[in-house]
Structure 1
Amino acid sequence: MVGHKVTYYIFTDQVSNIPAFTLGTGRKLVTLEAPSYQRWQDVSMRRMEMIRDQSHQRFIHEVDYLVCVDVDMRFSDEVGVEILSIVFGTLHPGFYTASREGFTYERRPESTAYIPRDEGDFYYAGGFFGGGTVEEVYRLTNFCHNAMMVDKERQIEAIWHDESYLNKYFLYQKPTKILSPEYLWDNDFAAPDFLKKRRFVAVSKNHNAIRNKRALQSVSGIEGNLHR
Protein backbone atom coordinates (compact mmCIF):
# COMPACT_ATOMS: atom_id res chain seq x y z
CA MET A 1 0.00 0.00 0.00
CA VAL A 2 2.77 2.39 -0.98
CA GLY A 3 1.63 5.99 -0.71
CA HIS A 4 -1.26 5.25 1.65
CA LYS A 5 -1.73 5.42 5.39
CA VAL A 6 -1.40 1.96 6.93
CA THR A 7 -1.93 0.64 10.44
CA TYR A 8 -0.41 -2.75 11.25
CA TYR A 9 -2.39 -4.56 13.93
CA ILE A 10 -0.48 -7.49 15.41
CA PHE A 11 -2.31 -10.05 17.51
CA THR A 12 0.05 -11.84 19.90
CA ASP A 13 0.13 -13.56 23.28
CA GLN A 14 3.74 -12.34 23.70
CA VAL A 15 3.39 -8.58 23.61
CA SER A 16 6.71 -7.95 25.36
CA ASN A 17 8.57 -9.82 22.61
CA ILE A 18 7.48 -7.46 19.83
CA PRO A 19 10.59 -5.44 18.88
CA ALA A 20 10.55 -1.72 18.27
CA PHE A 21 10.03 -0.79 14.61
CA THR A 22 10.88 2.39 12.78
CA LEU A 23 8.06 2.93 10.31
CA GLY A 24 7.67 5.34 7.46
CA THR A 25 5.46 8.40 7.37
CA GLY A 26 1.78 7.60 7.67
CA ARG A 27 2.39 4.15 9.13
CA LYS A 28 1.96 2.87 12.66
CA LEU A 29 2.00 -0.41 14.52
CA VAL A 30 -0.54 -1.43 17.15
CA THR A 31 -0.01 -4.53 19.28
CA LEU A 32 -3.17 -6.27 20.46
CA GLU A 33 -2.84 -8.85 23.21
CA ALA A 34 -4.39 -12.20 22.33
CA PRO A 35 -5.24 -15.14 24.60
CA SER A 36 -2.77 -18.02 24.69
CA TYR A 37 -3.96 -21.48 23.68
CA GLN A 38 -2.23 -24.81 24.11
CA ARG A 39 -3.27 -26.18 20.73
CA TRP A 40 -2.11 -24.51 17.51
CA GLN A 41 -5.51 -25.36 16.02
CA ASP A 42 -7.18 -23.14 18.62
CA VAL A 43 -4.69 -20.35 17.97
CA SER A 44 -5.68 -20.47 14.31
CA MET A 45 -9.42 -20.79 14.81
CA ARG A 46 -9.91 -18.23 17.55
CA ARG A 47 -8.43 -15.44 15.46
CA MET A 48 -11.82 -15.20 13.76
CA GLU A 49 -13.29 -14.21 17.11
CA MET A 50 -10.51 -11.69 17.77
CA ILE A 51 -10.83 -10.06 14.36
CA ARG A 52 -14.62 -9.93 14.72
CA ASP A 53 -14.51 -8.33 18.16
CA GLN A 54 -11.86 -5.77 17.24
CA SER A 55 -13.70 -4.94 14.01
CA HIS A 56 -16.72 -3.92 16.06
CA GLN A 57 -14.83 -2.22 18.88
CA ARG A 58 -11.92 -0.57 17.13
CA PHE A 59 -11.24 -1.15 13.43
CA ILE A 60 -14.54 0.33 12.25
CA HIS A 61 -13.49 3.66 13.81
CA GLU A 62 -9.89 3.67 12.56
CA VAL A 63 -9.62 2.23 9.04
CA ASP A 64 -11.53 2.10 5.76
CA TYR A 65 -10.27 -1.31 4.60
CA LEU A 66 -9.17 -4.32 6.61
CA VAL A 67 -6.79 -6.99 5.31
CA CYS A 68 -6.25 -10.15 7.38
CA VAL A 69 -2.95 -11.99 6.92
CA ASP A 70 -0.93 -14.75 8.56
CA VAL A 71 2.01 -13.42 10.54
CA ASP A 72 4.49 -16.05 9.32
CA MET A 73 4.70 -14.50 5.84
CA ARG A 74 6.97 -12.07 4.01
CA PHE A 75 6.07 -9.42 1.45
CA SER A 76 8.52 -9.94 -1.42
CA ASP A 77 6.93 -7.70 -4.06
CA GLU A 78 4.42 -4.86 -4.26
CA VAL A 79 0.91 -5.37 -2.94
CA GLY A 80 -1.26 -2.34 -3.50
CA VAL A 81 -4.77 -1.00 -3.77
CA GLU A 82 -5.52 -3.42 -6.61
CA ILE A 83 -6.48 -6.01 -3.96
CA LEU A 84 -9.13 -3.83 -2.34
CA SER A 85 -12.80 -4.61 -2.83
CA ILE A 86 -15.85 -5.22 -0.69
CA VAL A 87 -14.25 -8.52 0.32
CA PHE A 88 -11.58 -10.65 -1.35
CA GLY A 89 -10.49 -14.26 -1.15
CA THR A 90 -7.15 -15.71 -2.30
CA LEU A 91 -6.71 -18.94 -4.24
CA HIS A 92 -4.79 -21.52 -2.22
CA PRO A 93 -1.38 -22.22 -3.85
CA GLY A 94 -1.90 -25.95 -3.41
CA PHE A 95 -5.31 -26.15 -5.08
CA TYR A 96 -5.59 -23.48 -7.77
CA THR A 97 -5.35 -26.14 -10.51
CA ALA A 98 -7.29 -28.83 -8.67
CA SER A 99 -10.77 -29.98 -9.62
CA ARG A 100 -13.67 -29.50 -7.23
CA GLU A 101 -13.37 -33.15 -6.19
CA GLY A 102 -9.81 -32.49 -5.07
CA PHE A 103 -10.61 -29.58 -2.75
CA THR A 104 -10.10 -30.37 0.94
CA TYR A 105 -13.44 -28.97 2.02
CA GLU A 106 -15.11 -30.26 5.18
CA ARG A 107 -17.14 -33.23 3.92
CA ARG A 108 -18.93 -34.34 7.10
CA PRO A 109 -22.59 -33.28 6.93
CA GLU A 110 -22.76 -32.89 10.70
CA SER A 111 -20.29 -29.97 10.59
CA THR A 112 -21.44 -26.41 9.94
CA ALA A 113 -18.45 -26.14 7.55
CA TYR A 114 -19.85 -28.95 5.39
CA ILE A 115 -19.72 -28.44 1.61
CA PRO A 116 -21.33 -31.09 -0.64
CA ARG A 117 -19.15 -32.71 -3.30
CA ASP A 118 -21.13 -31.13 -6.11
CA GLU A 119 -20.72 -27.57 -4.78
CA GLY A 120 -17.87 -25.08 -4.52
CA ASP A 121 -16.05 -22.86 -7.00
CA PHE A 122 -12.52 -22.51 -5.62
CA TYR A 123 -10.48 -23.43 -2.57
CA TYR A 124 -9.53 -20.28 -0.69
CA ALA A 125 -6.51 -19.88 1.60
CA GLY A 126 -7.02 -18.81 5.18
CA GLY A 127 -3.81 -16.77 5.25
CA PHE A 128 -4.91 -13.76 3.19
CA PHE A 129 -8.47 -12.49 3.04
CA GLY A 130 -10.57 -9.41 3.69
CA GLY A 131 -9.26 -6.42 1.85
CA GLY A 132 -12.70 -5.02 2.12
CA THR A 133 -14.85 -2.85 4.27
CA VAL A 134 -14.64 -3.46 8.00
CA GLU A 135 -18.37 -4.24 8.01
CA GLU A 136 -17.91 -7.08 5.52
CA VAL A 137 -14.92 -8.51 7.37
CA TYR A 138 -17.02 -8.39 10.53
CA ARG A 139 -19.78 -10.40 8.83
CA LEU A 140 -17.28 -12.96 7.55
CA THR A 141 -15.47 -13.48 10.84
CA ASN A 142 -18.71 -13.46 12.82
CA PHE A 143 -20.09 -16.26 10.63
CA CYS A 144 -16.91 -18.31 10.96
CA HIS A 145 -16.65 -17.91 14.73
CA ASN A 146 -20.31 -18.71 15.36
CA ALA A 147 -20.10 -21.77 13.10
CA MET A 148 -17.03 -22.98 15.01
CA MET A 149 -18.81 -22.59 18.33
CA VAL A 150 -21.77 -24.64 17.08
CA ASP A 151 -19.37 -27.37 15.99
CA LYS A 152 -17.51 -27.20 19.28
CA GLU A 153 -20.76 -27.91 21.12
CA ARG A 154 -21.16 -30.93 18.86
CA GLN A 155 -17.54 -31.94 19.55
CA ILE A 156 -16.63 -31.48 15.89
CA GLU A 157 -13.54 -29.75 14.54
CA ALA A 158 -13.50 -28.93 10.84
CA ILE A 159 -10.74 -30.61 8.85
CA TRP A 160 -8.81 -27.40 8.12
CA HIS A 161 -10.06 -25.37 11.05
CA ASP A 162 -10.76 -21.68 10.32
CA GLU A 163 -9.93 -22.18 6.65
CA SER A 164 -12.79 -24.68 6.35
CA TYR A 165 -15.29 -22.15 7.71
CA LEU A 166 -13.88 -19.43 5.46
CA ASN A 167 -14.52 -21.64 2.45
CA LYS A 168 -18.05 -22.33 3.64
CA TYR A 169 -18.72 -18.61 3.95
CA PHE A 170 -17.41 -17.89 0.45
CA LEU A 171 -19.54 -20.71 -0.96
CA TYR A 172 -22.72 -18.67 -0.50
CA GLN A 173 -21.31 -15.16 0.06
CA LYS A 174 -19.12 -14.85 -3.01
CA PRO A 175 -16.02 -12.64 -2.70
CA THR A 176 -16.19 -9.55 -4.87
CA LYS A 177 -12.56 -10.08 -5.89
CA ILE A 178 -10.40 -13.21 -6.12
CA LEU A 179 -6.63 -12.95 -5.88
CA SER A 180 -4.29 -15.32 -7.72
CA PRO A 181 -1.69 -17.46 -5.88
CA GLU A 182 0.96 -14.81 -6.55
CA TYR A 183 -0.57 -13.04 -3.54
CA LEU A 184 -0.11 -16.07 -1.27
CA TRP A 185 2.65 -18.38 -2.31
CA ASP A 186 4.67 -21.13 -0.63
CA ASN A 187 8.07 -21.92 -2.12
CA ASP A 188 7.65 -25.55 -1.15
CA PHE A 189 5.43 -25.76 -4.23
CA ALA A 190 6.93 -25.93 -7.71
CA ALA A 191 6.34 -22.55 -9.32
CA PRO A 192 4.48 -22.69 -12.67
CA ASP A 193 5.76 -20.73 -15.66
CA PHE A 194 2.87 -18.27 -15.54
CA LEU A 195 3.72 -17.19 -11.99
CA LYS A 196 5.79 -14.10 -12.77
CA LYS A 197 5.69 -12.62 -9.27
CA ARG A 198 5.48 -13.98 -5.75
CA ARG A 199 4.19 -11.04 -3.80
CA PHE A 200 3.44 -12.60 -0.43
CA VAL A 201 5.42 -15.72 0.50
CA ALA A 202 5.35 -18.12 3.44
CA VAL A 203 8.44 -18.03 5.65
CA SER A 204 10.25 -21.37 5.60
CA LYS A 205 9.84 -23.14 8.94
CA ASN A 206 9.44 -26.48 10.66
CA HIS A 207 5.72 -26.60 11.38
CA ASN A 208 5.90 -29.61 13.68
CA ALA A 209 8.72 -28.16 15.78
CA ILE A 210 6.86 -24.88 16.29
CA ARG A 211 3.56 -26.59 17.12
CA ASN A 212 5.20 -29.07 19.51
CA LYS A 213 7.09 -26.25 21.25
CA ARG A 214 3.82 -24.40 21.87
CA ALA A 215 2.20 -27.52 23.29
CA LEU A 216 5.15 -28.23 25.60
CA GLN A 217 5.31 -24.62 26.81
CA SER A 218 1.60 -24.65 27.62
CA VAL A 219 1.82 -27.94 29.50
CA SER A 220 4.82 -26.68 31.45
CA GLY A 221 2.90 -23.55 32.42
CA ILE A 222 -0.08 -25.59 33.60
CA GLU A 223 2.15 -27.83 35.70
CA GLY A 224 3.84 -24.82 37.26
CA ASN A 225 0.50 -23.36 38.31
CA LEU A 226 -0.57 -26.66 39.82
CA HIS A 227 2.67 -26.98 41.83
CA ARG A 228 2.23 -23.51 43.28
Structure 2
Amino acid sequence: FPSKRYLDAYLHTFLKSSEQHFMVGLPVTYYVFTDMPEKVPNIKLSPLRSMKVIKVEKNSRWQDVSMMRMKSISDVIESDIRHHCTHVFCFDVDQVFTGRFGSEALGDSVALLHAHYYHLPKHFYTYDRNPNCKAYMETGDFYYHAAIFGGSWKNVKALTEACYQGIMEDKQNNVEALWHDESHLNKYMLLHKPSKVLSPEYCWDTSIGFRSDIQVTRLLWAPKYYDTLRKP
Protein backbone atom coordinates (compact mmCIF):
# COMPACT_ATOMS: atom_id res chain seq x y z
CA PHE A 1 0.00 0.00 0.00
CA PRO A 2 2.64 2.51 -0.98
CA SER A 3 2.27 6.28 -0.89
CA LYS A 4 4.54 8.25 -3.23
CA ARG A 5 7.33 8.19 -0.63
CA TYR A 6 7.05 4.41 -0.28
CA LEU A 7 6.79 4.00 -4.06
CA ASP A 8 10.01 5.95 -4.55
CA ALA A 9 11.87 4.22 -1.72
CA TYR A 10 10.82 0.60 -2.11
CA LEU A 11 8.49 -0.56 -4.89
CA HIS A 12 10.97 -0.79 -7.77
CA THR A 13 13.41 -2.88 -5.69
CA PHE A 14 10.60 -5.05 -4.32
CA LEU A 15 9.25 -5.87 -7.78
CA LYS A 16 12.65 -6.40 -9.43
CA SER A 17 13.74 -8.78 -6.67
CA SER A 18 10.36 -10.54 -6.78
CA GLU A 19 10.85 -11.24 -10.47
CA GLN A 20 14.09 -13.05 -9.58
CA HIS A 21 12.86 -15.05 -6.60
CA PHE A 22 9.07 -15.11 -6.01
CA MET A 23 7.14 -18.07 -7.46
CA VAL A 24 9.53 -18.29 -10.40
CA GLY A 25 7.98 -20.20 -13.31
CA LEU A 26 4.45 -19.82 -11.97
CA PRO A 27 1.78 -17.36 -13.15
CA VAL A 28 1.73 -14.30 -10.87
CA THR A 29 -0.37 -11.15 -10.89
CA TYR A 30 0.94 -8.27 -8.78
CA TYR A 31 -1.77 -6.09 -7.25
CA VAL A 32 -0.25 -2.77 -6.21
CA PHE A 33 -2.50 -0.73 -3.92
CA THR A 34 -1.58 2.95 -3.89
CA ASP A 35 -3.11 6.42 -3.69
CA MET A 36 -0.82 7.53 -6.55
CA PRO A 37 -1.15 4.96 -9.36
CA GLU A 38 0.54 7.26 -11.87
CA LYS A 39 3.79 6.95 -9.89
CA VAL A 40 4.04 3.15 -10.09
CA PRO A 41 7.28 2.28 -11.93
CA ASN A 42 7.11 0.49 -15.26
CA ILE A 43 8.83 -2.87 -14.69
CA LYS A 44 9.45 -5.43 -17.43
CA LEU A 45 7.82 -8.61 -16.16
CA SER A 46 8.55 -12.23 -17.03
CA PRO A 47 6.12 -14.26 -19.16
CA LEU A 48 3.00 -15.41 -17.26
CA ARG A 49 3.32 -12.39 -14.97
CA SER A 50 1.30 -9.19 -14.97
CA MET A 51 0.51 -6.18 -12.79
CA LYS A 52 -2.71 -4.45 -11.78
CA VAL A 53 -2.62 -1.10 -9.99
CA ILE A 54 -5.47 -0.44 -7.57
CA LYS A 55 -6.15 3.15 -6.53
CA VAL A 56 -7.03 3.45 -2.85
CA GLU A 57 -8.12 6.38 -0.73
CA LYS A 58 -5.36 8.47 0.81
CA ASN A 59 -5.14 8.29 4.62
CA SER A 60 -3.30 10.93 6.63
CA ARG A 61 -2.18 8.47 9.35
CA TRP A 62 0.08 5.55 8.47
CA GLN A 63 -1.81 3.53 11.10
CA ASP A 64 -5.00 3.92 9.06
CA VAL A 65 -3.19 2.99 5.84
CA SER A 66 -2.07 -0.20 7.58
CA MET A 67 -5.52 -1.03 8.97
CA MET A 68 -7.65 -0.04 5.98
CA ARG A 69 -5.69 -2.30 3.65
CA MET A 70 -7.74 -5.16 5.09
CA LYS A 71 -10.90 -3.80 3.43
CA SER A 72 -9.10 -3.04 0.16
CA ILE A 73 -7.72 -6.59 -0.06
CA SER A 74 -11.13 -8.12 0.69
CA ASP A 75 -12.83 -5.91 -1.91
CA VAL A 76 -10.36 -6.77 -4.68
CA ILE A 77 -10.52 -10.49 -3.90
CA GLU A 78 -14.30 -10.27 -4.33
CA SER A 79 -14.28 -8.16 -7.50
CA ASP A 80 -11.25 -9.61 -9.30
CA ILE A 81 -8.84 -12.05 -7.68
CA ARG A 82 -11.30 -14.88 -7.01
CA HIS A 83 -12.08 -15.10 -10.73
CA HIS A 84 -8.45 -15.54 -11.78
CA CYS A 85 -6.32 -16.86 -8.91
CA THR A 86 -6.27 -19.74 -6.44
CA HIS A 87 -3.92 -18.22 -3.85
CA VAL A 88 -3.08 -14.76 -2.53
CA PHE A 89 0.02 -13.47 -0.74
CA CYS A 90 -0.05 -10.04 0.91
CA PHE A 91 3.29 -8.26 1.36
CA ASP A 92 4.47 -5.00 2.83
CA VAL A 93 6.44 -3.27 0.10
CA ASP A 94 9.44 -2.27 2.27
CA GLN A 95 11.14 -5.63 1.75
CA VAL A 96 13.47 -7.23 -0.78
CA PHE A 97 13.60 -10.84 -2.00
CA THR A 98 17.01 -12.47 -1.68
CA GLY A 99 16.30 -16.19 -2.11
CA ARG A 100 13.77 -18.67 -3.43
CA PHE A 101 10.22 -17.93 -2.27
CA GLY A 102 8.34 -20.59 -4.17
CA SER A 103 5.49 -23.07 -4.18
CA GLU A 104 6.72 -24.59 -0.90
CA ALA A 105 5.22 -21.52 0.81
CA LEU A 106 1.73 -22.08 -0.60
CA GLY A 107 -0.99 -23.33 1.71
CA ASP A 108 -4.65 -22.96 2.56
CA SER A 109 -3.88 -20.42 5.29
CA VAL A 110 -0.30 -19.13 5.65
CA ALA A 111 1.13 -17.18 8.59
CA LEU A 112 4.68 -16.01 9.30
CA LEU A 113 6.64 -16.21 12.56
CA HIS A 114 7.86 -12.73 13.49
CA ALA A 115 11.66 -12.64 13.33
CA HIS A 116 11.96 -10.61 16.54
CA TYR A 117 9.74 -12.85 18.67
CA TYR A 118 10.05 -16.48 17.57
CA HIS A 119 12.92 -17.14 20.03
CA LEU A 120 11.29 -15.40 22.97
CA PRO A 121 9.04 -16.79 25.73
CA LYS A 122 5.35 -16.05 25.19
CA HIS A 123 5.15 -13.41 27.89
CA PHE A 124 7.25 -11.16 25.63
CA TYR A 125 4.76 -11.39 22.74
CA THR A 126 3.18 -8.00 22.10
CA TYR A 127 -0.44 -9.08 21.84
CA ASP A 128 -3.09 -6.45 22.53
CA ARG A 129 -3.84 -6.69 26.26
CA ASN A 130 -6.76 -4.23 26.34
CA PRO A 131 -9.96 -6.18 27.15
CA ASN A 132 -11.98 -3.46 25.37
CA CYS A 133 -10.19 -4.15 22.08
CA LYS A 134 -11.49 -6.70 19.57
CA ALA A 135 -7.88 -7.87 19.13
CA TYR A 136 -7.48 -8.61 22.87
CA MET A 137 -5.47 -11.75 23.64
CA GLU A 138 -4.23 -13.16 26.93
CA THR A 139 -1.96 -15.63 25.17
CA GLY A 140 -1.58 -17.38 21.84
CA ASP A 141 0.36 -20.01 19.94
CA PHE A 142 2.95 -17.76 18.26
CA TYR A 143 3.44 -14.11 17.39
CA TYR A 144 2.76 -13.64 13.69
CA HIS A 145 4.12 -10.86 11.49
CA ALA A 146 1.56 -9.05 9.32
CA ALA A 147 4.24 -8.12 6.76
CA ILE A 148 3.32 -11.40 5.02
CA PHE A 149 0.17 -13.48 5.12
CA GLY A 150 -1.61 -15.56 2.52
CA GLY A 151 -3.51 -18.64 1.52
CA SER A 152 -6.41 -19.57 -0.69
CA TRP A 153 -8.41 -16.55 -1.81
CA LYS A 154 -11.35 -17.75 0.31
CA ASN A 155 -9.27 -17.86 3.48
CA VAL A 156 -7.53 -14.54 2.85
CA LYS A 157 -10.92 -12.94 2.19
CA ALA A 158 -12.28 -14.36 5.46
CA LEU A 159 -9.22 -13.12 7.39
CA THR A 160 -9.26 -9.61 5.93
CA GLU A 161 -13.02 -9.24 6.42
CA ALA A 162 -12.78 -10.33 10.06
CA CYS A 163 -9.84 -8.00 10.77
CA TYR A 164 -11.60 -5.07 9.11
CA GLN A 165 -14.77 -5.73 11.11
CA GLY A 166 -12.76 -5.77 14.34
CA ILE A 167 -10.92 -2.58 13.41
CA MET A 168 -14.18 -0.75 12.64
CA GLU A 169 -15.81 -1.92 15.88
CA ASP A 170 -12.76 -0.63 17.76
CA LYS A 171 -13.03 2.73 15.97
CA GLN A 172 -16.67 3.04 17.06
CA ASN A 173 -15.51 2.46 20.65
CA ASN A 174 -12.55 4.86 20.35
CA VAL A 175 -10.10 1.97 20.72
CA GLU A 176 -7.02 1.23 18.60
CA ALA A 177 -5.16 -2.07 18.77
CA LEU A 178 -1.55 -1.92 19.96
CA TRP A 179 -0.09 -3.07 16.63
CA HIS A 180 -3.07 -2.14 14.48
CA ASP A 181 -3.93 -4.72 11.79
CA GLU A 182 -1.16 -7.05 13.05
CA SER A 183 -2.90 -7.33 16.43
CA HIS A 184 -6.16 -8.24 14.70
CA LEU A 185 -4.36 -10.75 12.46
CA ASN A 186 -2.87 -12.46 15.52
CA LYS A 187 -6.32 -12.68 17.12
CA TYR A 188 -7.79 -14.17 13.94
CA MET A 189 -4.98 -16.74 13.68
CA LEU A 190 -5.60 -17.77 17.29
CA LEU A 191 -9.23 -18.55 16.48
CA HIS A 192 -8.58 -19.95 12.98
CA LYS A 193 -5.30 -21.86 13.02
CA PRO A 194 -3.13 -21.45 9.91
CA SER A 195 -2.43 -24.59 7.91
CA LYS A 196 1.16 -23.47 7.26
CA VAL A 197 3.50 -21.40 9.44
CA LEU A 198 6.53 -19.94 7.66
CA SER A 199 9.95 -19.68 9.27
CA PRO A 200 11.36 -16.17 9.88
CA GLU A 201 13.75 -16.89 7.00
CA TYR A 202 10.79 -15.80 4.85
CA CYS A 203 10.99 -12.29 6.32
CA TRP A 204 14.27 -11.76 8.14
CA ASP A 205 15.74 -8.65 9.77
CA THR A 206 19.53 -8.60 9.45
CA SER A 207 19.81 -6.28 12.47
CA ILE A 208 19.04 -9.33 14.64
CA GLY A 209 22.46 -10.70 13.80
CA PHE A 210 23.58 -14.32 13.40
CA ARG A 211 21.17 -17.10 14.25
CA SER A 212 22.30 -20.69 13.76
CA ASP A 213 18.78 -21.81 12.82
CA ILE A 214 18.48 -19.31 9.96
CA GLN A 215 20.58 -20.90 7.24
CA VAL A 216 19.08 -18.99 4.32
CA THR A 217 17.15 -15.75 3.97
CA ARG A 218 14.43 -15.44 1.37
CA LEU A 219 13.05 -11.99 2.06
CA LEU A 220 14.80 -9.22 4.00
CA TRP A 221 13.47 -6.15 5.74
CA ALA A 222 14.60 -3.11 3.80
CA PRO A 223 15.94 -0.15 5.79
CA LYS A 224 13.00 1.59 7.50
CA TYR A 225 13.01 5.36 6.99
CA TYR A 226 10.04 5.90 9.27
CA ASP A 227 11.03 9.44 10.27
CA THR A 228 10.54 10.64 6.71
CA LEU A 229 8.20 8.06 5.16
CA ARG A 230 5.55 8.20 7.88
CA LYS A 231 5.23 11.96 8.02
CA PRO A 232 1.64 13.08 7.31
Alignment TM-score, normalising by the size of structure 2: 0.89
Is residue 30 of structure 2 the alignment partner of residue 8 of structure 1? Answer: yes
Q: List gaps (5 residues or longer) in structure 1.
A: 216-228
Shift in Å, 1:191: 3.0
Q: Which amino acid aligns with 2:216?
A: K
Shift in Å, 1:205: 2.7
Is residue 158 of structure 2 the alignment partner of residue 139 of structure 1? Answer: yes
1:70 to 63, 76, 92: 92
Shift in Å, 1:8: 0.7
Q: What do residues 48-98 of structure 1 show as CA deviations (whole Å, max 9, x unaligned)?
A: 010011111111001111011111111110100001111110000110011
Q: What do residues 9-46 of structure 1 show as CA deviations (whole Å, max 9, x unaligned)?
A: 11011111111111111011111111110000001110
Q: List gaps (5 residues or longer) in structure 2.
A: 1-22
Q: What do residues 97-128 of structure 1 show as CA deviations (whole Å, max 9, x unaligned)?
A: 11111100000000000001xx3010000000
2:144 to 100, 104, 124: 124
After superposition, where does 1:5-84 map in structure 2 within 5 Å? 5-84=27-106
Distance in 1 between residues matched to 2:36 and 2:222, nearest whole Å: 19
Partner of 2:15 in structure 1?
none
Distance in 2 between residues matched to 1:207 and 1:185, nearest whole Å: 18
Is residue 214 of structure 2 the alignment partner of residue 195 of structure 1? Answer: yes
Distance in 2 between residues matched to 1:197 and 1:99, nearest whole Å: 24
Distance in 1 between residues matched to 2:210 and 2:203, nearest whole Å: 12
Question: Which of structures 1 and 2 has the bigger CA Rg?
Answer: 1
Distance in 2 between residues matched to 1:76 and 1:207, nearest whole Å: 22
Structure 1's consecutive aligned runs of 4 or more residues displaced over 4 angstroms after TM superposition are none
Q: Which amino acid aligns with 1:145?
A: Y
What's the Cα RMSD here?
A: 0.8
